Structure formats: C-alpha cells, structure tokens
Structure 1
Amino acid sequence: MDLKITKLYSFGLMLLTLFGSAQAFSSGAMELKTTEVDFFNQQVNRPVKIKFWYQSGSESCEATICLSPKQSSHRVAIISHGAFGSPREMNWLGYALASQGWVVAGVAHFGESWVYGSENIDPSSAMRFWQRPQDISFAIDSLSEEKLFNTSLKTDKVIMLGHSSGGFTSLAMAGANLEAGKSEVYCATEMAKDDKGCDYGQHRKRKPMSDEMVKKIGLLAEQMRDDRVAAVIALDPALGHAVSENSLESIKVPALVLGSVENDFLPYTAHSKYYADHIQGANLVGIEQGAGHFVYIDECDSDREVKGVSLCKDREGVDRNAIQKKILEHVFGFIYRNGFS
C-alpha cells in the first residue's frame, strides 16, 4: 500500500466546548488537527485520499499521525462527501467529532472529488455507485496500516456518516441496495420534476437497462455492505428514489436520517423520509427554517452552483452555522443514546 502525507493543518480547541459531555477530553497538552494522507487501493487500481480529524498530543511520535495519549481505541468515524464534493467541505462535522474524542476519516472519492484535480473529474463516475463503498471499506482497512497511528484503533464498530450521495453510501454500507429500473420509473413522473437527483446520469432520457446490467448491479449491490459499520448517520441522503424497500427493511444497525424539509435539491419525501420510513427503528429529523441541500457543508464564499442551486448562498434568513449546531446536537444525542460514547 502506498502512503503519503499531502497536507497538514493545525487548529486550537475551537469546538471542544460545543458539547459539555462527560466524555469530552481534557484540553491539557492536546489540540485538534487535520491531516490528509494519500493511499492507493491496488485491488481496484484506484487512489484514495483520506482527510483525518483528530486530537493530537503535545509530543511527537514516529507514526504518520500522532494521536493524543488519551485517545480511545474504539471511537472511529468515517465521512463520505456528496457528489463531486470533498472531505475538505466537511470540517464543521469532522472537527466537532474530533473534539469529542473521535478519530475521523473523511474519504475523497476518485472521479468525483475535486481534490484529485479537475482533470480527474469524470461525470459518469456518479453512476458507478459501487465504487464509493469500495473506497470506504478500503479506508477502514487502511486504519490498521502499520505506523499510520501511534495508537492501535479498533475498527470492528465504526460510525458511518455521509451527505447526499455520501448519505446513500453510508446506508449502502449497512445494507441499502438499488432496485433496477426504479429510478427510471420515478424520474418519468410529474412528482420528480424538481428532483435534481434525476439529472445525474440523465435518468429522464435513459433507456431501460439490459438484463445483463440488472444482474451485474445486483451482484455489485451485495458487495457494498460492510459489517464493521455499527451505526449510520445520513445527512440529506440522495438516491432514495432508486433504493429498494426490502433492502432498507433489512438494515439492523441504528440509523439517524436528517433531511431538509423545504428542499431545493432532493425532495424530502422521496429521499430522507423514504429512507427513514423503511428502516426499522430509524430516527428521522426534518431540518426546517428554510434550510436547503447544501446547508450540510462548510460555510463558504463562492458563486458556484450545482444544478442551478447555490452551493454557498442559502435562502434569506437561513443561518447555516446555527443550523449545523442544531444538527450536531442530534448527531451527538444519537451517538450517546446508542452507547457509542
């Protein structure tokens, strides 16, 4: 396995006081850091860049990442970004989890994420849905790489989080599978006219899949699940219109689904609510106050739009920072209620 550090940033304990839980670490001789490390999955000939958020000790070590001496070995969380996004847009979530003692790994999906360079962005990669779970399973494997950390981590019970396509990825790791032909039927209906999810892969214009492709998709779907994922947190998850009810009903791990009710990208009923309705015992939180689909990424200052929806500019009156703080309350409440403290 090839391993290379690409960037390192250091921050103070800006988020440690967000949640006054008994599990929070002492601020003595420790700070929050983030480091990006390049790996290569030789099995599928695919690079995997991982952004880590963690608590660092004051002393140096011989490992690539020096964790705090107080680091718990079993607090491991994985984040999957949205389509054509990046873990670099998920600092609000990564640092918050790290402040509570979690080692967080944000996986950049090659072909989609801009962190690999614009020349490596492939629009068709959004339809190769099975590659994302492959990246996640490889990332979990990589956490045991020799000399990556100065402390051995237990990866048999990780928490999986994701936004948009990353939300689907998180749920796929727990058993969610696509149903062949379902998205084409949905995207041809009037109710899907404002669903931006149908624009990916040109669902509205695509011909029905062949029997051979349907069979291939079924085999790939079976390979997406990873039993090391012990809980799932999906933020405004995509592909609800394409996922089978039976696969969702088979999910047994605790699941928290958060979605924007007044959605400007993925209709709440067809995606977030659909997932939660069919996962036994799932917690559903509807985010109101005018929040849109991109309120789940870092605050930013750009004119960029995705499918005609602004990435950085929220609707009038929407306070992205305040909404993210409320989301974190739900996230940590879910984590502690389910015994992952």
Structure 2
Amino acid sequence: MKFGLSLVLMLAVTPSIAEPAAGVAYLHDTSVEERPLSMSIWYPSEEKASATIGGNPVFKGVSATRDAQFPKGALPLVVVSHGGLRSATDSGAWLSSSIAQAGYVVVELNGPRPDNAAIALNEIWQRPQDIHRAIDLVQADATWGPRIDESKVSVVGFALGATAALSVAGAKMDVDEYMRSCATGSESEGPDCGWYAAQGVTLSETSQEGVAGLARDPRVTSVIAINPEYPAVLGSIAEEVGALRIYLGTPEAAGGGDQADRSVVIPDASIFDAFAVCTPAGPDILAAEDGDSSICGVSAETRESIHLETARAVISFLRDHSE
C-alpha cells in the first residue's frame, strides 16, 4: 500500500517537480448529453512529476505524473466530489493526489459548472447521481475496471459534495424541510441562499422528483463528509457503511451537530481551506474581481498545514476501512 514512499511524501501537498508524484489520467463521458462528466483519475506512482494539475492564476496546482505506470494489483477506489457550486476543475487535486499516493485509485469528479442559480438548483440531487455514474463508468472501463477492487469503494465529499456522499451512503433527505432551507431563520439554511435570492430563485423550484429519488449506492462501503451542507435535513446513513465527518472549523460553525459518526475537528480551519493553496497574486486577483480575498485564508503555510492534517485524517480512516 505504501509503495516505498515515506509518510511525508505521501501527504505532500505540492511536491517538487523532481520528486515522485501521483499518476494522473482522464476519463470523459458524454453519454448524458445535458451533463457531460469529466473524471481525473489519480493513482500511486514513484515516477518523477511531469505536470501541474488544477492550477490557475488564483490557486496553485498540484504536481503529478501524466500516464505513469500503474502498480500491480487491484486497488481500493475512492471517489472525490468537491462541493463548490462554482469551483474550478480539479479543485480537490491537493487531496486526491495525497490519497492516491497512499495506495488508492482516486476519481475526482468534474461535472459541468452551473452558469447561474437556476441551473444550480438541481445540483443537490445531480451530485449524488454523478457519484453513482462515475462508479459505473470506472468499473466498466476496459483499462480501469481491472485495476479496481470492487469490494472497497469509498466517497470523499466537500460541502455539497459531502451531502452527496452521505446520500449515496443511505442518508434520506427530508424533502419538505430542504425546500424551506432558505427561509429566514431556518436551521438548515445553506451557504448559497443569498446567491439564489439575488437571482430571484427559490429552492421550491428544485425538482422534487430528483430530490426524492436520492438513493443509497450499495457498492459504497465508507464515506468521508467534510463540512456537509444542509445537515439538518439529512437522516442517518446505512449502518453497514463506515463514516467519518471532518469539520473545518467547529462542528457548530460548519453547520454540524451531534453525530454518531467518527469525527475530526480542525478548529483553526474554515470551509475555504477545502480549496487549494493560493498563489501570491491570488488575494489581489480575487479583490480586483469583487471576489472574497479571505478565500485564500491566513497564509499559504497555514493552508498547507490544514491540508496535511486533513489528508492524514482521511487516509487513516480509509486504511481502517480497506484492510
């Protein structure tokens, strides 16, 4: 599982271009015309980095080795669903690459980015569908199917992606309560309510059939939910599914509460720390575009430390559930 790499290398957020880095490849599916799905596939590698993935003027990318040789044997599968409605492609690359170097095949989902609030409404049930679909596609693929241990399938989600992860683990959603989530004073109010309101969109316009159709995926054996959105409208997950909740910030600040699941709290973090480390110019670019420069956090060093702690917690949990 460790492939000769030290823990430091396995959990490095941005390894040097001269150091070993996770392998990366891509799988695209256009069978659903209105929702094409792009998947970044990460896996263990001891080859030197040859590319940078997920970088842009605001966020630093992650070193990777394109089409590196795959290690022998089938490995557990981990699906990563980043939660930001308007997140860039490969926003979770910092975590996906670290998990891969610990001995897993990691599929990071990059679905279509909603152009407006009306389109984004149905992400609440489309994200779980993306997870089901990704597992189908990878297991059926001639190249990747034989490389996956189908008995060990986990999902890691951030924010709305965490809500999706809990859904595929069997957590039922109270549809009526969800539809009221943006009402003033609602316990289940979500972080995008202001964005919806500014565009004259209400959650009552969400496809009730889509939300009601959310269902557990029996192939998923464990889930990791990082600051799930709308936690007050979700029921318990299936008893046979292992679960870890990670709170970037206190559980109360993250919208959590008393949960029976195993949990890890990183009190000095925030949900913004689910994003990559910012470039030196990142805060100024965000400010110039009327964005929120606090997305970049306190400092690059602080965010790297939070990423390291998060990756350690995720990998430790995965190992406990993939032995």
- TM-score if structure 1 supplies the norm length? 0.70
Which of residues 268, 274, 277 in structure 2 aligns to 1:296?
Answer: 274
Q: Distance in 2 between matches of 1:165 and 1:104?
A: 19
The aligned counterpart of 1:35 is 25
The aligned counterpart of 2:79 is 78
Contact preservation (8 Å) 1:163, 1:236: yes
Distance 1:293 1:110, change over 3 A: same
Q: Distance in 1 between matches of 2:245 and 2:255?
A: 6
- Report the AA paired with residue 219 of structure 1: A
Q: Distance in 2 between matches of 1:150 and 1:317?
A: 37
Contact preservation (8 Å) 1:260, 1:293: yes
Q: Distance in 2 between matches of 1:259 and 1:138?
A: 27
The aligned counterpart of 1:233 is 224
Q: Distance in 2 between matches of 1:315 and 1:182?
A: 36
Which of residues 215, 236, 243 in structure 2 aligns to 1:255?
Answer: 243
Contact preservation (8 Å) 1:240, 1:270: no
The answer to whether structure 1 residue 166 and structure 2 residue 172 are counterparts is: no
The structure, 1 or 2, with the larger RCO (C-alpha pairs under 8 Å, 6+ apart) is 2
Q: Distance in 1 between matches of 2:118 and 2:199?
A: 15
How far has the Cα of 1:176 moved from its partner?
A: 2.2
Q: Which runs of 5+ in 2 are unaligned?
A: 12-19, 48-65
Contact preservation (8 Å) 1:34, 1:54: yes
Identity of aligned residues (%): 23
Q: Which runs of 5+ in 1 are unaligned?
A: 1-12, 22-29, 59-63, 113-120, 263-267
Q: Distance in 2 between matches of 1:181 and 1:204?
A: 22
The aligned counterpart of 1:283 is 262
Q: Distance in 1 between matches of 2:203 and 2:95?
A: 39
Residues matched between the structures, number = 288
Contact preservation (8 Å) 2:37, 2:111: yes
SS in 1 for 2:278: coil
How far has the Cα of 1:74 moved from its partner?
A: 3.7
Contact preservation (8 Å) 1:65, 1:148: no
- Cα-Cα RMSD: 3.8
Contact preservation (8 Å) 2:10, 2:102: no
Q: Distance in 1 between matches of 2:277 and 2:94?
A: 9
How far has the Cα of 1:104 moved from its partner?
A: 0.5
SS in 2 for 1:248: coil
SS in 1 for 2:133: helix
The answer to whether structure 1 residue 50 and structure 2 residue 39 are counterparts is: yes
Contact preservation (8 Å) 1:163, 1:237: yes
The answer to whether structure 1 residue 126 and structure 2 residue 120 are counterparts is: yes
Distance 1:92 1:48, change over 3 A: same
- Report the AA paired with residue 38 of structure 1: H
Distance 1:272 1:175, change over 3 A: farther
Mapping 1:179-198, distance limit 5 Å: 179-183=174-178, 185=180, 187-190=182-185, 196-198=191-193
The answer to whether structure 1 residue 314 and structure 2 residue 297 are counterparts is: yes
Q: Distance in 2 between matches of 1:20 and 1:36?
A: 21
Distance 1:199 1:193, change over 3 A: farther
How far has the Cα of 1:130 moved from its partner?
A: 1.6
Contact preservation (8 Å) 2:44, 2:105: yes
Q: Distance in 2 between matches of 1:258 and 1:78?
A: 16
Distance 1:307 1:66, change over 3 A: same
Question: For 1:92-149, what per-residue CA distance to the aligned partner results, in whole angstroms no more than 9, with x for missing partners?
Answer: 111111111111100112243xxxxxxxx34333321221111111111111344333
Which stretch shows the higher mean deviation, 33-42 or 102-111?
33-42
Distance 1:318 1:185, change over 3 A: farther
Contact preservation (8 Å) 1:184, 1:203: no
The aligned counterpart of 1:141 is 136
Contact preservation (8 Å) 2:170, 2:237: no
The aligned counterpart of 1:220 is 213
